[in-house]
Amino acid sequence: MAEPSTTTLGIAAATAGITIGSAALGLDTETAIGALAGAAVFVTSAKEINLITRVVYLLASVIIGYFVAPEIINHTFIEVRAVAGFVGGLLGVTAGQLLLKQMHNTDLSWIIGGKKK
């Protein structure tokens, strides 16, 4: 397990990278940091998943959290962009996994012209 100082340094570096990258690319820094924070909480709570998968989930969660934040603001009581990014980053991959699981457990052949069972 990583030392707390190493983890803190990693989070600080990621936050600095997000801030600089957001400014350079014209992204909303507040939403990006919120999405990173939500993704970090999701990834650190998923201890049963191997490291490479967690890194992929971290990237996916940050991207999902950033792009879902405006919809969260439009359709919920949340008005702060950072909080919306946090919620999106925290729940994005989980919602995707639930949808994939549901699709695997459902017969979707009727959508492409097959017969209903």
Cβ within 8 Å of residue 101, ≥6 positions away: none
Question: pLDDT tens for residues 84-95?
Answer: 999 999 998 889
Question: What pLDDT digit, counting tens, does each position of 94-111 carry?
Answer: 898 888 888 888 876 766
Largest CA distance in the chain: 59
Look up residue 83 and give its amino acid.
Answer: V
Higher pLDDT, 56 or 19: 56
Residue 71 has pLDDT above 70, yes or no: yes
Predicted structure pTM score: 0.72
What pLDDT is stored for residue 87 in this prediction?
95
CA 70 → CA 13, 15, 44, 53, distances in Å? 26, 21, 25, 27
Nearest to 69 by CA among 90, 95, 50, 52: 90
